[in-house]
Structure 1
Amino acid sequence: MKKQKLAVIFAALLTMVGFSSCLNGENDPTVSPQELMKVNGVAGYYTFTSAYGYTITPLNMSALSSLNLGSYAIVQYSYDSSLLEWDESKDVTINNVVNIQDEMVVAQAPEEEDGNAPIYTISSSMAQPIYFDKYNLFIPVTYYYKNSSDTDDLTAELNSHDFVLYYDSNDAESTDSRLVLHLRHKVSDTEVQRSDYGTEYRHFNITSVLSDYANKYGVSMPDKIVIEYEKSSSSSYENISSEKVEVEYKSLFEETSSNN
């Protein structure tokens, strides 16, 4: 696979996570689902594991490169649905892979210096926080950036954005049914004028958060997770407001033994 196209990062393509497929014509059994998957294998021999438990193995292995082993990616692939079931392990043709960046999770209250850039939004009608399993949360952050027709400049700009998720066990807003997390956005150069915005999923491993939460409240998991973030209608950090998005949690996992 050629180095991922930067334009793909902000495409609506990335918001269609989960198992979705489309037929390439009424009589063509080829389907092309797009799915959040874990990257496994070794360099040069990759496999991808679905949250549903099956594994796909690329038929076009030599076309793949620059994948982050042990991390996650949004994978679009094709196979013959007349021969293979959607939920069975299979050999497929990989059409596109977009790596998802891993971010930090910190067990402390966010300080003023932890953030220096606002977020446009973290939830929309097309992009919602999602899980691979109960330990791995993926947040769609729509943030301001400086676009460029120069690939190297755009790469440097996108790499200058970092996100951190904070959990404070003493946070009065958290309860035995509601886990509150705080998302902060930091850029390496605050002098850059950023007028464009786009959406990108970022990965957060919340294993330590769930352990601290269980120790604090004596329950295995919260009913809901609330993500608080600093929002602005422009890239200026001077006019931010605190916003929250609430997502279901316990109902998705309490009866799913494969995620226990």
Structure 2
Amino acid sequence: MKKTKFAVLFTALIATCGLSSCLGDPDPYTTRTEIMRIDGFPGYYSFESAGNYVVSPTNSDALTGTFNDGGFAYVTYKFDTRTITQNTSKIEAEIQGLLPIGEIYRNYGEMESNAPMNTVSSSVQFYDKTNMFINLTYYYEKTADSDDQSAELDKHRFYLIQDVAEEGEEVDNNTLTLNFVHVVDDADNNVNRKSTGTETRHFDLSSFIGIDGYVPEKIIIKFKRSSNSSIDGADDSQIEIPYKSIMNQYFKNGSSI
């Protein structure tokens, strides 16, 4: 199963599913899309919601791809609301769309971007206190051949590295600062990367948050931003995430986003 990378394509998929639901589904069926954790293996997949319920596919045979057990995906599913009660923990549903979410990797030591970002969205999502999802918009070379396009997109890798204070620099323990790094295999081809695409990526914060009870007030992510695909002249930019207030609002009482 080929992965559709960019959110613009997935948005079209959701719109199509939603339109189909409005026009063709009799009540009481409804269609929902959310970020879910993948569990299982081919033929036996299930999907766990941040809301502490599990979606069990009624059309497992249609899920022909191999997906990362424990990974995350946007899942679009249709279900009968008559089967739902206040205590429901498992939903039998038809899976109508499945888009695996790629990773932002953690790295250590010094590392620099050799390709800029168009933007890193500050409108992040959380599955729980440590699983964070960020929308990334970057430059890529558009090609007509699908295999060549996949090869081009696979050349892009993303990392987050903890910012280390310089000697003598005051440390703000209320702020977790991360440096975002965008690396491509062939930076000399950046001149041909004239198209932009947006995709959602996952990052695991468990190596930073919760250790010895540490919970930052905010997270700052620094990155190189440019209006074109050249890293030369790219500006220093950053986003700020009010982490603690988000946690207090959505997770303090065991609730979820």
Shared fold per TM-score greater than 0.5: yes
In the alignment, the residues of structure 2 paired with residue 131 and residue 251 of structure 1 have an alpha-carbon distance, to the nearest angstrom, of 13
Match runs of 1:1-260 below 5 Å: 3-4=1-2, 6=4, 9-11=7-9, 13=11, 24-25=22-23, 28-64=27-63, 65-84=65-84, 88-108=89-109, 110-111=110-111, 114-123=112-121, 128-170=123-165, 175-192=172-189, 193-210=192-209, 220-254=214-248, 255-257=252-254
1:163–1:176 CA distance, 2 compared to 1 (3 A):
same
Give the conservation status (yes or no) of the 8 Å contact 1:78–1:94. Answer: yes
Counterpart CA distance in 1 for 2:37 and 2:170 is 33
Alpha-carbon contact 2:6-2:199 (below 8 Å) kept: no
AA of the residue aligned to 1:189: D
Work out the CA distance in 2 between the residues paired with 1:163 and 1:220: 25
Is the 1:24–1:30 Cα contact (8 Å) retained in structure 2? no
SS in 1 for 2:83: coil
Instruction: State, as a whole percentage, how many aligned pairs show the same letter.
Output: 32
Deviations 1:91-143 (A, max 9, x none): 100011111112311344x44xx31000000117xxx2211111111111100
**Structure 2: gaps (5+ residues):** none
2:31–2:79 Cα contact (<8 Å) kept: yes
CA distance in 1, matches of 2:28, 2:203: 36
CA contact (8 A) 1:122 1:141 kept: yes
- Counterpart AA for 1:89: K
- Root mean square deviation of aligned Cα: 2.7
CA contact 2:4–2:99 (8 Å) conserved in 1: no
Residue pair 1:130, 1:137 contacting (<8 A) in 2 also: yes
C-alpha distance in structure 1 between counterparts of 2:221 and 2:171, whole Å: 11
Distance 1:120 1:85 in 2: 44
Runs of 5+ consecutive residues of structure 1 not aligned to the other structure? none
TM-score w.r.t. structure 2 length?
Answer: 0.83
